[in-house]
């Protein structure tokens, strides 16, 4: 084996074609499998490049990922199956170990915290098994495992009989295969002991190249790479015959070993929304773009692009990343957005893009944002790599509403009249036909009616009048036009506190937008509230009943009861109840009662014998020719209450009564 030995590692995906990986000694290269895409591999090259490349196995084109990688010497390379992370060890005794994520190509390789160890020799053989253990096998036969955090190699069992050089790889069943530089093939146990010889690989035409790379591809077929020439062969495990050579170009140094791995493909997705389905001429538009790394195992750098249409001006944007993720730029401006974000597993980057819609824009506003993985990777779900938001562009009105009843206070039980004026102050292309006027009049106002009129500049009412507390009508308002609504009702006698009533106007459901719409912007002139202090009044209701009811014969005593209740908003003071004694009856002396319950009232009773002109008559038995116990002279009874009758149940009600006999 010459002094420019290079190691190459291929890491295939199950059901995919092979992926490669190489490691170098002196001026060689190491190619490691790119299992994100079936036609790509990774390569690490020592002297004179000291670079890590992506190799397209179809075209043999190399793309530089890292120039002058840390370590500055030849190295051996392997790829972790769980997340595609590359590890390379400087090909020297006690070599330094580094890690590098090819999915975030701009992030430089990072040295692990330690080296392999002072007694660990250089090696050209390094590979991951399917469970993610990193093995290192020098020619001494000692099988090391490398700590993927510290880089320290721990000696394990010894495998004997392998010879020198070549490469190691695990097949899909987890069996370790070794091919040495003399073309001899072996299987070996991770527990150590003598390797099992499978025989010698034969090459077309009797050639005897030195094998330096080994892999099992997605179909579990053995692939061997050789130096001088630098070719990739398919090997029949039954016969150990190599066939179908593929020339590996790229570089003048001899190439090295192969290794296998299974790595999930990256999956980036993007969503975009303005949060609305309509925008308006001259109005704001804000897009929220969320880029997500749906890959659960490793970080990925995504390129984010968004060409905002020219009809949106003054474009600015910001980026905020979730924990563990980062934005290449925190903000920017201009209609052409091209930036990137490095996203941790399941991480996100949220872009907020803001601008103003042109005053002459018409039709629809459509804007597409896209995200892409690095060019040498493949996204498993390309269908979610772009997102489009489409909004209808409305003309711009400027609607407003004022409302007043012209007073600062109203009295319970009085008539309330509101004047509501709606206006469209738009200056161009903003006619608002079908604008919706609403007013839910409080339930304490009854018998509500309204009219619409006083149009200016050809404004028209959707309806000329209506009734009921729920007003919902339309107005056709050309530019600069106004309409006046007059709303009238009666305030309840029991109303208290404050009377507040709000009217609103909004643009029609389609075709027109209003930048001063309170519901859209959070501050505007599309609604107005009139508030008045209510001057409360008492409201005492009387209910009179008689017992017994129906037709009665002469000589029957009738008990008349008057129930009173204060249903107003304040206490009733100086309450007086009077009642005439019915004609053709005689008042029963001493029959007056008062049931005052918890009202706290006291009462004085007086009688009139002159139809209520005065109340100074004392009833007497037999008065006016009545039978004993009755007084025909009593014409009226009056109850005068002392104290305040509350408006709050149960202290707001009581009753009084008297008896009269039918003559």
Could you tell me the CATH number of the domain that includes residue 581?
A: 2.60.40
CB-based contact 557:620 (threshold 8 Å): no
Residue 53: inside a domain, yes or no?
Answer: yes
CB-based contact 392:283 (threshold 8 Å): no
Tokens of 346: 């399941």
* pLDDT, averaged in runs of 10, over the chain (663 residues): 40 32 33 42 71 70 83 80 82 90 88 92 85 92 96 97 89 89 96 97 94 74 78 90 77 41 74 91 92 85 96 98 96 97 94 93 95 83 96 85 95 95 80 85 97 94 96 92 97 92 83 66 76 91 96 96 92 94 97 94 97 97 96 98 93 96 96
Same-domain pairing of 204 and 61: yes
Burial 364-395 (b: 16+ CB within 10 A, else e): ebebbbbbbbbebbbbeeeebbbbebebbbbb
Distance of CA 279 to the CA centre of its chain: 20
CA distances from 614 to 609, 610, 626 (A): 8, 7, 21
Same-domain pairing of 504 and 517: yes
DSSP state of 13: P
Residue 652: inside a domain, yes or no?
Answer: yes
Same-domain pairing of 320 and 303: yes
Integer Cα distance of 93 and 6 in angstroms: 16
Residue 515: inside a domain, yes or no?
Answer: yes
Same-domain pairing of 38 and 122: yes
Same-domain pairing of 377 and 433: no
Go through the chain and tell me how many residues it has: 663
Residue 259: inside a domain, yes or no?
Answer: no
Same-domain pairing of 62 and 170: yes
Predicted local confidence at residue 359, as pLDDT? 82
3-state SS assignment for residue 382: helix
CATH number for the domain harbouring residue 217? 2.120.10.30
Kindly report the CA angle at 636 between 632 and 639, in degrees rounded to 5?
Answer: 130
Looking at the DSSP assignment, which residues form a beta bridge with residue 188? 176
Distance of CA 602 to the CA centre of its chain: 67
Tokens of 330: 């925190």
CATH number for the domain harbouring residue 513? 2.60.40.1530
Integer Cα distance of 27 and 652 in angstroms: 106
Domain finish residue from 535, 551, 577: 535
Residue 252: inside a domain, yes or no?
Answer: no
- How many structural domains comprise the chain? 4
Predicted local confidence at residue 31, as pLDDT? 38
Same-domain pairing of 139 and 238: yes
Integer Cα distance of 352 and 366 in angstroms: 16
Domain finish residue from 496, 511, 535: 535
- Domain boundaries, position 38: 6-247
Ramachandran class of 363: left when φ > 0, alpha when ψ lies in -120 to 50, beta otherwise: left
CB-based contact 226:244 (threshold 8 Å): no
CB-based contact 296:266 (threshold 8 Å): no
**Which strands form 153-160's sheet, in the order they lie side by side?**
126-128, 134-136, 142-146, 153-160, 193-194
CATH number for the domain harbouring residue 299? 2.60.40.740
Domain finish residue from 511, 535, 559: 535
Is 29 exposed, middle or buried (CB count within 10 Å of its CB: 0-12, 13-18, 19+)? buried
Predicted local confidence at residue 430, as pLDDT? 67
Same-domain pairing of 103 and 226: yes
Same-domain pairing of 175 and 306: no
CB-based contact 132:80 (threshold 8 Å): yes
CB-based contact 100:80 (threshold 8 Å): no
Integer Cα distance of 488 and 364 in angstroms: 43
Predicted local confidence at residue 133, as pLDDT? 93
Residue 196: inside a domain, yes or no?
Answer: yes
Same-domain pairing of 231 and 99: yes
Residue 208: inside a domain, yes or no?
Answer: yes
Q: Which of 172, 121, 111 is nearest to 143 (CA)?
A: 121
Tokens of 28: 């060689």
Distance of CA 115 to the CA centre of its chain: 46
Q: For the chain, how are helix, strand and coil distributed in percent, rounded to 5?
A: 0, 50, 45
Q: Which of 187, 177, 226 is nearest to 203 (CA)?
A: 226
3-state SS assignment for residue 560: strand
Predicted local confidence at residue 592, as pLDDT? 98
Query: What is the C-alpha radius of gyration for the chain, rounded to an integer number of angstroms?
Result: 48
Which phi and psi (to 5°) does residue 436 adopt?
A: -105, 120
Integer Cα distance of 477 and 397 in angstroms: 9
Distance of CA 615 to the CA centre of its chain: 79
Same-domain pairing of 414 and 284: no
Same-domain pairing of 644 and 551: yes
Tokens of 589: 């002396």
CA distances from 140 to 161, 169, 250, 620 (A): 10, 17, 31, 140
Integer Cα distance of 511 and 275 in angstroms: 18
Residue 311: inside a domain, yes or no?
Answer: yes
CB-based contact 473:465 (threshold 8 Å): no
Terminal CA-CA length for the chain:
145
């Amino acid at each position: 084996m010459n002094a420019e030995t290079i190691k190459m590692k291929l890491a295939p995906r199950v059901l995919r074609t092979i992926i490669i990986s190489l490691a170098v000694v002196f001026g060689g290269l190491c190619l490691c499998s790119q299992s994100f895409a079936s036609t790509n591999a990774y390569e690490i090259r020592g002297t004179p490049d000291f670079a890590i490349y992506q190799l397209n196995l179809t075209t043999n084109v190399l793309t530089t990922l890292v120039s002058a990688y840390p370590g500055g010497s030849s190295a051996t390379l392997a790829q972790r199956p769980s997340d595609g992370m590359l590890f390379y060890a400087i090909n020297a005794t006690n070599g330094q170990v580094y890690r590098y994520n090819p999915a975030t190509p701009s992030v430089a390789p990072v040295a692990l915290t330690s080296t392999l160890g002072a007694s660990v020799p250089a090696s050209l053989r390094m590979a991951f098994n399917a469970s993610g253990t990193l093995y290192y096998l020098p020619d001494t036969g000692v099988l090391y495992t490398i700590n993927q955090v510290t880089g320290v190699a721990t000696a394990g069992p010894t495998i004997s009989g392998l010879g020198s050089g070549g490469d190691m790889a695990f097949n899909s069943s987890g069996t370790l295969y070794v091919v040495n530089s003399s073309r001899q093939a072996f299987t070996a146990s991770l527990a150590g002991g003598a390797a099992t010889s499978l025989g010698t690989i034969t090459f077309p035409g009797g050639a005897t190249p030195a094998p330096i790379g080994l892999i099992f591809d997605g179909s579990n077929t053995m692939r061997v790479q050789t130096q001088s020439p630098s070719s990739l062969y398919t090997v029949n495990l039954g016969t150990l015959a190599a066939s179908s050579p593929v020339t590996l170009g790229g570089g003048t140094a001899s190439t090295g070993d192969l290794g296998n791995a299974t790595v999930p493909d990256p999956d980036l997705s993007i969503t975009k929304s303005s949060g609305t389905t309509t925008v308006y001429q001259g109005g704001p538009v804000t897009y929220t773009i969320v880029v997500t790394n749906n890959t659960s195992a490793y970080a990925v750098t995504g390129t984010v692009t968004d060409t905002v249409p020219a009809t949106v001006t003054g474009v600015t944007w910001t980026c905020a990343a979730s924990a563990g993720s980062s934005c290449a730029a925190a903000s920017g401006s201009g209609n052409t957005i091209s930036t990137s974000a490095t996203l941790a597993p399941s991480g996100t980057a949220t872009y907020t893009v803001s601008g103003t819609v042109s005053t002459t824009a018409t039709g629809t506003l459509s804007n597409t944002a896209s995200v892409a993985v690095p060019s040498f990777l493949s996204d498993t779900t390309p269908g979610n790599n772009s997102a489009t938001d489409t909004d209808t562009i409305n003309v711009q009105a400027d609607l407003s509403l004022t409302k007043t009843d012209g007073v600062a206070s109203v009295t319970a039980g009085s008539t309330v009249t509101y004047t509501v004026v709606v206006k469209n102050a738009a200056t161009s292309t903003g006619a608002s036909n079908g604008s919706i006027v609403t007013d839910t009049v409080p339930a304490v106002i009854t018998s509500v009616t309204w009219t619409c009129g006083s149009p200016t500049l050809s404004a028209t009412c959707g309806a000329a009048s209506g009734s009921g507390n729920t007003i919902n009508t339309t107005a056709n308002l050309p530019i600069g036009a106004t309409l006046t609504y007059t709303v009238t009702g009666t305030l309840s006698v029991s109303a208290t506190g404050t009377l507040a009533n709000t009217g609103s106007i909004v643009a029609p459901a389609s075709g027109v937008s209003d930048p001063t719409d309170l519901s859209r912007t959070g501050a505007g002139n599309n609604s107005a509230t009139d508030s008045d202090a209510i001057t409360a009044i008492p409201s005492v209701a009387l209910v009179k009943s008689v017992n017994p009811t129906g037709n009665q014969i002469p000589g029957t005593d009738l008990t008349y009861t008057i129930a009173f209740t204060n249903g107003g908003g304040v206490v009733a003071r100086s309450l007086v109840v009077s009642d005439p004694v019915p004609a053709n009856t005689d008042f029963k002396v001493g029959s007056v009662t008062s049931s005052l319950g918890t009202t706290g009232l006291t009462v004085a009773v007086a009688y009139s014998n002159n139809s209520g002109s005065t109340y100074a008559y004392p009833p007497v038995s037999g008065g006016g020719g009545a039978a004993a116990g009755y007084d025909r002279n009593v014409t009226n009874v009056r109850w005068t209450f002392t104290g305040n009758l509350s408006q709050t149940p149960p202290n707001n009600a009581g009753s009084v009564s008297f008896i009269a006999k039918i003559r």
